[in-house]
Structure 1
Amino acid sequence: MSIDIPKDARAEAIASIQRYFDENMEERIGNIAAGGLLGFFLEEIAPVIYNQAVADVQERLQARVADLDIELHEEAFTYWRRRQNPGRSR
Structure 2
Amino acid sequence: MQQPIKLNERQRSEMIDSLQTYFDQEKDEQLGDLAAGLLLDFIVEELGPIFYNAGIEASYQFMNEKIEDLFGIQVRER
Shorter-chain TM-score above 0.5: yes
Q: Percent identity?
A: 32
Matches within 5 A, 1:10-29: 10-29=12-31
Is residue 75 from structure 1 mapped to residue 69 from structure 2 by the alignment?
A: no
| Equivalent position of 1:42 in the other structure | 44
Q: After TM superposition, give the deviation of residue 26 of structure 1 in Å.
A: 4.6
For residues 67 and 22 of structure 1, the distance between their equivalents in structure 2, rounded to whole angstroms, comes to 48
Segments of 4+ moved more than 2 angstroms: 24-27
With normalisation by structure 1, the TM-score equals: 0.75
Segments of 5+ residues of structure 2 without an aligned counterpart are none
TM-score, normalised to structure 2's length?
Answer: 0.85
Query: Displacement, 1:18?
Result: 1.0
The number of equivalent residue pairs is 76
What SS does structure 1 have at the residue aligned with 2:76? coil
Alpha-carbon displacement from aligned partner over 1:23-59 (angstroms, at most 9, x marks no partner): 2235311111101100100000111111011001100
Describe how 1:57-68 pairs up with structure 2 within 5 A: 57-68=59-70
Local SS of the residue matching 1:18 = helix
Runs of 5+ unmatched residues, structure 1: 79-90
With 42-51 and 1-10 compared, the bigger mean Cα shift is at 1-10
CA RMSD of superposed structures (Å):
1.4
